[in-house]
Chain A
Amino acid sequence: MTHSGFIFAAWGIVLAVLVLYSVHLVLRGRSLTDAVEPEHRRWLDSGAETKGLSHPPREQP
């Protein structure tokens, strides 16, 4: 194979970045899940989809 250094560098960077970002997502998801009460952990469980949830209403002065 010609130019194998360039080819493996490109593939290696892509695979490494995708794996590292995926691991980062999974680990961050786990730590955040622990910090939230069970009924609020998922969009569907929270009932937000039926409430048409937006940001909390602004406080009136």
Chain B
Amino acid sequence: MSPAEVTSTGSRGTRVIGSIVLAGIVFHVLLSFVWSDPDADQGDLVRIMYVHVPSAWLAYMAFTVTAFGGVMYLWKRSLWWDLVAGASAEIGVVFCALALVTGSIWGRPTWGTYWEWTDVRIVTTLVLLLLYIGYLAVRRIPADPHQRSRRAAVVGIIAALNIPIVRFSVDWWADRTLHQKATVKLGGTELDGLMLFALFFGLILFTLIYVWMMIHRFRIAWLDEQIDRHGLDAAIAERLAESTSDVTRAVGLTKTGADL
């Protein structure tokens, strides 16, 4: 595709991924609602797990990418890594919010409450969400681009320290959470058959959605950067042209005065 033919942030790659995602969503709905059985303990409520766990997984992954992008930016000073970090944080915030909302909806019929402030998993996840909303706010503070990217990178790395705390909170503070321990873990899982397949399919599907969103969001961030950069260049060029014409006019007037 030649540059002139680019009219959006879409491309052949995003269209292929998007088509796979659309087909995958239909398959995931059938898998979660028709083909998989209710859980022995949770009953039909287990079907919420097929969107709740992938949302939480994607939030962890997106924020990890943001932290890694921050480290790479501080090391390489590459704009590419800075844009990747920012794009991933925004998508991570969307998925983290979805994980909290779906967890809350799941909690009402399971625990009898939508929200429990003493629950370590819920509260640490909320803190994670707020940290990355803060990260996005830091990226919007007007400052020198280098300074803004450096600050954002540091905030992104520090905020990522909360990811393992969220992940292992149900093990470290088992007596202070209503949340169940990890359903899928190394060395054994409590799920089997189609339920496990539906969960893993959801993880793969949501990862593909993340990839599709990342490509679009990165290109948007790049376009924003170009508008900032070339918009500023154009403004400086315009101002220089104005001042040059002022000087020329002033010199012309002086000459005219001298001639007189």
- The residue that B6 contacts in the complex, of A14, A42, A56, with Cβ under 8 A, is A42
CB pair A2 B9 closer than 8 Å: no
For A3-47 the 0/1 string (1 means CB < 8 A from B) is 110110111011101100110011011101111111111110110
Indicate the member of A18, A45, A46 with the most B CB atoms within 10 Å: A18
CB pair B216 A26 closer than 8 Å: yes
Secondary structure at chain B's binding surface: helix, strand, loop or mixed?
helix
Known contacts A25-B213, A26-B216, A54-B77; is A37 also within 8 Å of B230 by CB?
yes
Report the separation of the CA atoms of residues A6 and B6 in the bound assembly, to the nearest whole angstrom: 43
B219 at the interface (CB under 8 A from A): yes
Residues 178-237 of B at the A interface (beta carbon under 8 Å): 209, 212-213, 216-220, 222-224, 226-227, 229-230
Secondary structure at chain A's binding surface: helix, strand, loop or mixed?
helix
Residues of A within 8 A of B222 (CB): 42-43
Indicate the member of A14, A34, A42 with the most B CB atoms within 10 Å: A14
Report the separation of the CA atoms of residues A6 and B219 in the bound assembly, to the nearest whole angstrom: 36
B94 at the interface (CB under 8 A from A): yes
CB pair A18 B209 closer than 8 Å: yes
Say which one of B46-54, B166-174, B239-247, B248-256 lies at the interface with A: B46-54
Say which one of B59-67, B120-128, B131-139, B144-152 lies at the interface with A: B144-152
| Closest chain B residue to A25, Cβ basis | B216
Known contacts A14-B51, A40-B230, A53-B80; is A7 also within 8 Å of B44 by CB?
yes
| Closest chain B residue to A19, Cβ basis | B25
B55 at the interface (CB under 8 A from A): yes
A52 at the interface (CB under 8 A from B): yes
- The residue that A3 contacts in the complex, of B25, B32, B45, B217, with Cβ under 8 A, is B45
Given contacts A10-B102, A17-B98, A30-B9, 8 further A-B contacts (CB under 8 A): A10-B101, A11-B29, A25-B216, A26-B216, A33-B8, A33-B9, A36-B223, A36-B230
**Subset of 13 A-B contacts with CB under 8 Å:** A7-B45, A7-B48, A18-B98, A26-B8, A29-B10, A29-B220, A32-B224, A33-B8, A35-B223, A40-B230, A42-B222, A45-B3, A55-B79
What is A's interface to B at a CB cutoff of 8 Å?
1-4, 6-7, 9-11, 13-15, 17-18, 21-22, 25-26, 28-30, 32-43, 45-46, 48-49, 52-56, 58
Q: Which 6 A-B pairs have the closest CB atoms?
A: A29-B9, A32-B223, A38-B3, A55-B145, A25-B216, A10-B102
